[in-house]
Amino acid sequence: MNILVILESPNKVKKVKKYLEECDKNNNYFVEASVGHIREIDDCGEYSIGVNFNDCSVNYIISNDKKNVVRNLTEKAKLAEMIILATDPDREGEVIAWHLSEILKKHCNNFKRMKLNAITKEEVEKEMNRLCQIDKNYVNSGIARSILDKTCGYILSRVLQDNHIGNSAGRVQSAVLLILHFREEAIKNFVKEEWYTLIDENKILLKNVEKDKKRIDLNKNAYIEKKYKSFEETINTKNKLDNNYVIIEIKNEKFEDKPFFNYTTSSFLKDCKLKLKLKIKESSLIAQNLFEKGLITYIRTDSTNIDKKTKDDISKYIIRNYGEKYLGVLHEVKTKKNDQEGHPAITPTNIEITKNNVNEYLLKNEEDCLTEKEKLVYELVWQNSINSLIKLPNGDKTTYILKNKDEIFTGENKNYIFNGYYDIDNNLDKKNNNVLNWKVGDEIKVFSIQAKLKSTQPLSRFNEATLISELERLGIGRPSTYKNAVNVNIDRFYAQVDKNDSMFVTEKGKKVIEFLIANFISFINLDYTKNMEDDLDRISKEKINYKNYIKIYYEALIKEANKFMIDQMKCPKCNNGFVREAVKKDGTKMGFKQCSDWQKCGWKEEKKLDLSNATPCENEECNGQIYKYDYIDKVSGQKKEGVSCTNKECKWRPGAIQKCQLCNIGWLSEKNGKSGKFISCNNYPNCKFIQSC
């Protein structure tokens, strides 16, 4: 049987084809790639959204850059008796699979869905025995997301443009900007509180405390730090003390250090930032490459869970390499109801592949070796997975309560009995025990008690990694959308990153978000955005009718937006977009008008030419006029003077020697180059004539 297998990434094709042929020698496999999405919603209809909101029908078109891909897939589909859609195993991948089936079904209507969480022979073989149908509910959820995103983006963007506020807004994009804005406001309005306290940092940290009145009924020995309002008050208390601190009580308890959890998308990106100093975009590209090489599992997930086989493999590795005493239990975060399609956490596909033998493994499988950064990222994932199953460091924690005159002091001391992951992970600081043989009634000599000024600290600005963690915590967006939602605000100059990699809202961003807060807060507030993510999950489980949901959202949004929309002239070329003042991404006006959808349409207003000093064109075949104009040089950024002819077809310019005999369109002129003077045609690059002087 001829079977066509379609993946998303072309980088997976060779490896998956090899595994398929090794697993099944009875069928003939063609393996191709869609290179991501192949169709998009057309910019047509009301507000150029491409959706008929009466019945929520969508007008899809094949993306311009995917026409050759679709042509190739169509030819392969004509030869196939079965098509396996092996796009990524998430909601977006499900939608791509559906689009492929819609385009190819007239050539072959026997479709199966395969979901690969890793690119390994074992995973391919397992999933070939678990082929299923496209999940239409997931598809409906994905379609709803894309319609909601485009509806919100196009309508709010038009409102911002009509009122000269900004360039664009979006469902998740604006929620991200709102988070950044709230953080800026919190920092701006922060009022610092200061106080003094008494401490000693000799053998252990001793703190001056007093009984916690709020907890006195629950625990008679509950203490909180004693705060002094002034330095004088603190010194007065210190001067009353002597050097003898008597231990009046000792509390002993067991402790365990915090566990490691297997990576979600956000925790992985956060550690790449904090531990490896990598930017989010670079970390994401490296992770995708490691996934495609078959080294780690699928990288878009918000679950910390792993399957039984992975857990067993890691456990065996720990026992064999470190000893059974180091094997602990797996710690998992309670699964959230909206975990990304139930994907497992990010782990190595084979725990036996370490940083020391990974390149040897890749060469054996005819793959390129990892770069140094890729090795660091792989080691990060590998070590984190090992640490997640290492028995937790633990020991005895002793709390000492001391008295000097009428003042109480407390101090804690930890002694590790078992070092756990500190013995295994060379990137962690080793723990040293501080043995104290103190007993109740002992007098401890303290000579260095100090008054210390303390204060509350403002919240710090988000960086890319901590912002993504905040999005995950709030339940806004999904792992596949985090990076783009953050980056689009930077691209639009709504937010910038300072030299410390901290993100802040620009004046332009502040103007945009304050307008949205004043007029559209119900559509961008964080609870609303989070609840919409939950609703999309309910659509995927067929608990909500997605068409009704979209209609209700559109009607509510357009009702508010109509209050701010301004009737404007339609584009004379496409009749879809609107005539707008052209602006750069940073909001700078460019001095002419263009179509609001200029990237697809291309129309822009013709500048009025100043022909007051124009002269007749010296090209005998042309009736145009030669005029001068000013332009900004792209290289130097300096204002320069150019010369052109009013006849767009004419290539004659001052200094022209003769018409080019090669193309019979351009004119030859003398120019200076690195190697000296030369003569060339000004119809370059269409004409390549050149001659040395």
In this prediction, residue 341 carries a pLDDT of 46
Q: Tell me if residue 683 falls in helix, strand or coil.
A: coil
In this prediction, residue 340 carries a pLDDT of 45
Q: Is 379's pLDDT higher than 70? A: yes
Q: Closest by alpha carbon to 511, among 271, 167, 205, 198? A: 167
pLDDT interval class at 405 (50, 70, 90) = very high
Least confident of 139-148, 255-264, 671-680: 671-680
User: Mind listing the pLDDT tens digit for each residue in 223-251?
Assistant: 899 999 999 999 999 999 999 999 999 99
| Cα–Cα distance, 357 to 295 (Å, whole number) | 12
Running DSSP on this structure, what letter comes out for residue 252? E
Identical fold at 144-189+460-563 and 194-258+393-455?
no
Q: Is 537's pLDDT higher than 50? A: yes
Q: How long is the chain?
A: 693
Q: Is 336's pLDDT higher than 60? A: no
The whole model's pTM is what? 0.78
Mean pLDDT across 484-491: 89
Q: Is 221's pLDDT higher than 70? A: no
| Cα–Cα distance, 382 to 385 (Å, whole number) | 5
Residue 548, both tokens: 């009704």
pLDDT interval class at 566 (50, 70, 90) = confident
- Show me where the domains of the chain are located: 2-134, 144-189+460-563, 194-258+393-455, 295-388, 656-692
Mean pLDDT across 285-294: 93
Q: Is 392's pLDDT higher than 90? A: yes
**Per-chain mean pLDDT for the chain:** 89
Residue 152, both tokens: 């919100």
Running DSSP on this structure, what letter comes out for residue 595? E
Q: Is 635's pLDDT higher than 70? A: no
Where is pLDDT greater, at 637 or 309?
Answer: 309
In this prediction, residue 591 carries a pLDDT of 67
Residue 170, both tokens: 């979006």
pLDDT interval class at 505 (50, 70, 90) = very high
| Cα–Cα distance, 691 to 565 (Å, whole number) | 58
Measured N-to-C along each axis, helices 265-276 and 372-387 cross at an angle, to the nearest 10 degrees, of 120
Say whether the peptide bond before residue 685 is cis (omega within 30 degrees of 0): yes
Residue 454 amino acid letter? K
Residue 175, both tokens: 């929620």
Q: Is 220's pLDDT higher than 60? A: no
In this prediction, residue 609 carries a pLDDT of 75
Distance (Å) of CA 405 to CA 54, 221, 245, 596: 81, 18, 9, 77
8 A C-beta contact, residue 205 and residue 412: yes
Q: Closest by alpha carbon to 183, among 489, 599, 600, 455? A: 489
- Indicate the CATH number of 2-134 among 3.90.1300.10, 3.40.50.140, 3.30.465.10, 3.40.50.970: 3.40.50.140
Q: Closest by alpha carbon to 392, among 416, 421, 432, 413? A: 421
Residue 475 amino acid letter? G
Least confident of 23-27, 122-126, 213-217, 437-441: 213-217
Residue 174 amino acid letter? S
Mean pLDDT across 160-176: 91
Where is pLDDT greater, at 207 or 644?
Answer: 207
In this prediction, residue 217 carries a pLDDT of 53
> Cα angle at 609 between 603 and 611, to 5 degrees?
160
Mean pLDDT across 185-205: 93
- Indicate the CATH number of 144-189+460-563 among 2.40.50.140, 3.40.50.10890, 2.40.160.60, 1.10.460.10: 1.10.460.10
8 A C-beta contact, residue 669 and residue 655: yes
The contacts of residue 130 (CB under 8 Å, 6+ apart) are: 114
Q: Is 41's pLDDT higher than 60? A: yes
Distance (Å) of CA 591 to CA 166, 550, 584, 605, 642: 17, 38, 10, 10, 17
Q: Cα 550 vs. chain centroid, distance in angstroms?
A: 26
In this prediction, residue 472 carries a pLDDT of 87
In this prediction, residue 665 carries a pLDDT of 87
Burial of 234 (0-12, 13-18, 19+ CB in 10 A): buried
8 A C-beta contact, residue 643 and residue 678: no
Letter string b/e over residues 513-526, b meaning 16 or more CB atoms within 10 A of that residue's CB: bebbeebbeebbbb
Residue 497 amino acid letter? V
In this prediction, residue 230 carries a pLDDT of 95
Write down the CATH number for the domain with range 194-258+393-455. Answer: 2.70.20.10
Where is pLDDT greater, at 283 or 203?
Answer: 283
In this prediction, residue 188 carries a pLDDT of 95
8 A C-beta contact, residue 321 and residue 423: no
Query: Does domain 295-388 bear CATH number 1.10.630.10?
Result: no
